Structure 1
Amino acid sequence: MRTIKNIHAASYHPIADLITFNPLPSAKLSQIDPFIFLNHHGHQTYPKNNQGLPFGPHPHRGMETVTFILEGDIMHKDSGGHESVIEAGGIQWMTAGSGLIHAEVSSDKFKKEGGDLEILQLWVNLPAKHKMTKPRYLGLQKDEITNFKLDEGKINVQLIAGEWEEKKGSFKTLSPITMSTIHMNAGGRFTKNIPQDENIFFYVVKGSVKVNGEVITYRNLVEFNQDGDSLTVEASEDAIIILGHALPLNEPMVAQGPFVMNTQQEIMQAYQDYQAGKFGTWNH
């Protein structure tokens, strides 16, 4: 079984009136290669006639964003012409690649009516060979995503990407990566085999779980050693976790603002290209 190296508590970094916790990166952990950044927004309840999410038009290059909508909704627009409103239980996967401009805001309905909101966004690094790939975006609603039960129905796995016991995730990825959201009822238990050479992304969104015998509470990220090939997870109470794993890229990474590249020179080029209008035009 994998042993735990460290447990990293998410720190509180509100954005405007949006409650936000951020476990990665931190002072003690720069990345879990290729997983490089996580923001956990909410849980909070918005009143009627609210301003919604504050993420207006901004650029990205060299990485991917995976957005988990647990409650509320998110309206996506980008310079590639993609537009969607994804509701609770849905997932967005955006490959910034060579560069695009996008906005992620709340729908008009949510801003008018208010309601509960909890959304997480994970950044996944792209390998050097895919940094300048053509941007792409896919948003899927809850009922469009592979899901299955474990432990006599006590666990529901939403398989976003990769494979799990011969089941296939709903998003096709440029590099092999497994990603899932797991809802666990108290007492639910599962074991998952994960190759020893892959890095594990394990974040507790809600509740409390035991991982290989150690208790992990909500808003904590687990960093594992590379010393085993299985995880056993048991829910101490009703819980939600995000579990991903992938081979590390083992490449130099320079992250600055919304750009994630391999060298400082490539970062400077990204800013120049953005200012020169090479990320497309924003006409929303």
Structure 2
Amino acid sequence: MKTIKAIHPASYHPIADLITYNPLPSQNLRQIDPFIFLNHHGFQTYPKNNNGLPFGPHPHRGMETVTFILEGDIMHKDSGGHESVIEKGGIQWMTAGSGLIHAEVSSGKFKKEGGDLEILQLWVNLPSKHKMTKPKYVGLQNEEITRFELDGGKISVQLISGEWNGYRGPLETISPMLMSTLYLKPGSSFTKIIPKEENVFFYVVRGEVQIQGENIPFRNLIEFNNDGDSLTVKASKDSVILLGHAMPFNEALVAHGPFVMNTQQEIMQAYQDYQAGKFGVWED
């Protein structure tokens, strides 16, 4: 069994009127290579005639964003010409690569009608050889994502990428990676085989789970040692977790604002390229 190295509680960092918790990075944890950043927005209920999400046009380079829409919606637009509105249960996977500008805001319907909102965004690093890959965006609604059950139907697995129990997620990632969202009933449990050398991304979104006799409530990120090849999880309450695993890149990491590269010189180049209009043209 993989043993727990540390438990990292998410810290509260609101963005305007958006409730936001951030467990990664923190003072004690820089990354779980190749997973480098997580924001947990909500849970909260927006009133009618609200301003919605505050993430207007901004650039990225050198990384990918994976966005999990548990409640509410996201309207995506980018300088590569991609546009979509992804609703409850859906996900977005954007490869920033060589650079693009995007905005993530709420739909006109959500801003008018209000409603519940809970959204998580994870940043995944790109290896140096793929930092300047062509930007790409995929938005999938709930019904387009692979689902299967564990523990006699007590656990529902939403498999986004990778393989598990003979099922395959709909997204093909640049570097091999499993990414999933799990919905667990109280008293349910599962065991996942994970190669010893792979790093595990494990975040408790809702509820409470138990690992190796330790109770872990929601808004906690668990860091594991690379000392076993399996992971057993039990749910104490109705719970939701994000679970991913991948081989670490073991490369230098330099992050500044929206850019994630390998050297400070590459960060400076990213800013120069953005200011020179090389990330595409933004059209309202």
Q: TM-score range by the shorter chain?
A: over 0.9
Say which is worse superposed, 44-53 or 160-169, in terms of deviation. Answer: 160-169
Shift in Å, 1:213:
2.5
Aligned to 1:162: 162
- Residues 30-58 of structure 1: CA deviation (Å, up to 9, x unaligned): 00000000000000000000000000000
Aligned to 1:174: 174
How do 1:35-50 residues align onto structure 2 when only pairs under 5 Å count?
35-50=35-50
User: Number of matched residues?
Assistant: 284
Normalised by the length of structure 2, the TM-score is 1.00
Shift in Å, 1:211:
1.6
2:267 is paired with a residue of what secondary structure? Answer: helix
Aligned to 1:130: 130
Aligned to 2:91: 91
1:152 is paired with a residue of what secondary structure? Answer: helix
* Inter-partner Cα distance in structure 1 for 2:96 and 2:213: 38
* Inter-partner Cα distance in structure 2 for 1:124 and 1:211: 25
What's the Cα RMSD here? 0.5
- Residues 206-249 of structure 1: CA deviation (Å, up to 9, x unaligned): 00001233211100000001100100011001000000000000
Give the counterpart letter for 1:218 in structure 2.
Answer: F
* Inter-partner Cα distance in structure 1 for 2:167 and 2:199: 21
Aligned to 2:202: 202
Shift in Å, 1:166:
1.7
How do 1:249-260 residues align onto structure 2 when only pairs under 5 Å count?
249-260=249-260
Aligned to 1:18: 18
Question: Is 1:203–1:222's contact at 8 Å kept on the other side of the alignment?
Answer: yes
* Inter-partner Cα distance in structure 2 for 1:2 and 1:198: 11
* Inter-partner Cα distance in structure 2 for 1:265 and 1:275: 15
* Inter-partner Cα distance in structure 2 for 1:173 and 1:145: 15
| 1:106 and 2:144 are equivalent in the alignment | no
Aligned to 1:280: 280
How do 1:242-253 residues align onto structure 2 when only pairs under 5 Å count?
242-253=242-253
- Residues 162-191 of structure 1: CA deviation (Å, up to 9, x unaligned): 111221011110000000000000011100
Give the counterpart letter for 1:267 in structure 2.
Answer: I
Give the counterpart letter for 2:136 in structure 1.
Answer: R
Question: Is 1:62–1:97's contact at 8 Å kept on the other side of the alignment?
Answer: yes
Percent of aligned pairs with the same residue? 77
Shift in Å, 1:27:
0.1
Unaligned segments of structure 2, at least 5 residues? none
| 1:141 and 2:161 are equivalent in the alignment | no
* Inter-partner Cα distance in structure 2 for 1:212 and 1:251: 31
Aligned to 1:221: 221
Unaligned segments of structure 1, at least 5 residues? none
